[in-house]
Structure 1
Amino acid sequence: MECVSCATATNKYKCSKCLAPYCSFNCYKTHKESPECAERTAARQTTQKPKNNEEEEPTIYPPFSTDDTVPKNLLEKLEHSEPLRQLLRNPHLCALLKEIDVAHNANLAMTAAMQEPLFVEFANACLEVVEPMTEAEKEDLRLCS
């Protein structure tokens, strides 16, 4: 992708209004004051109306499905999980999740996070919501413990 202001190859940042890629703060300042930003924003708003007035997180890369992709309806169940709510009150876990979110190397960040018992507990709580264990799996787990 090319920076919308200076045409330098970049994939670092994107405009929060119109999703145009940019490479630096100076290019962003120039872009956000340009009529092009307003035009792109207007075009984006007419083509994408989020449900329930919720704005979806902008991303440079379009979503793609894999065998491991969790369907949206199961992800929405996470919102109602009390064990997850309790875990997310922990400031250490929140800091860890923020680090993973902005990491340049997501695999490395996840590998490091999986060394933290608190993060493993969080991951297991998420899995329990989106892919609950069967009774046979629970029994196997009890036998291994």
Structure 2
Amino acid sequence: MGPRQCQVCNEAPSKYKCPLCLVPYCSLVCFKKHKEVPCAIEPVSAGDQPTAPNGSLVDRPIYVRDQNEILEKLQLEAIASSSEIHSDLNHERLQKLILAIDSSPDPETELDKAMEDEAFHIFSTKISSIIGS
């Protein structure tokens, strides 16, 4: 499977996805153009979500019930710039847990299971500490 096409300019391969609606885009210019119109986030039933041949979900929209659950840019930047988080993300076990959550049709249940793992619990506590929650 090749790279996805930018859905804003339809000219370049996408490198990124909108954090709200997951529309693929290729550059900051396209992201800004995409953001000129607010993202339409609608709930999606499990039956409507596309799946890959291996059964994993593909580009599922994210439905946020409470806007306070969305991290601010500064919080995301703080996470991204943390050397401790970068170091933790190099651990294969943690990568597998995160992938399991991300590809699950029921990510909340998968997250609850991952929280039982001490390494994941410590990781999530670090992130909570960084974002101040």
TM-score, with structure 2 as normaliser: 0.55
Question: Residues of 1 paired with 2:62 and 2:91: CA distance?
Answer: 31
Cα RMSD (Å): 2.9
Q: 2:106 corresponds to which letter in structure 1?
A: N
Number of aligned pairs?
89
Structure 2 unpaired stretches of 5+: 23-58
> What residue is the counterpart of 1:108 in the other structure?
109
Cα distance change of structure 1 residues 96 and 60 upon mapping to structure 2, 3 Å threshold: closer
Structure showing greater radius of gyration is 1
What secondary structure sits across from 2:71 in the alignment? coil
Q: Using the TM superposition, give the Cα deviation of residue 102 of structure 1 relative to its aligned residue in structure 2, in angstroms.
A: 0.3
Cα 1:68–1:62 change in 2 (3 A) is: closer
Greater share of residues in helix: 1
Q: Name stretches of at least 5 consecutive residues in structure 1 with no aligned partner.
A: 1-14, 19-40, 47-52, 133-145
User: Tell me, what secondary structure is at the counterpart of 1:45?
Assistant: coil
Question: 2: distance between equivalents of 1:87 and 1:61?
Answer: 27
Structure 1 pair 115/62, CA: closer, same or farther in 2 (3 Å)? Answer: closer
Return 106-115 or 79-88, whichever deviates more: 79-88
Percent identity over the alignment is: 16
1:111-141 per-position Cα deviation (integer Å, ceiling 9, x unaligned): 1001000000110111111117xxxxxxxxx
Hey, what does 1:67 align to over in structure 2? 68
| 1:66 Cα deviation after fit | 2.1
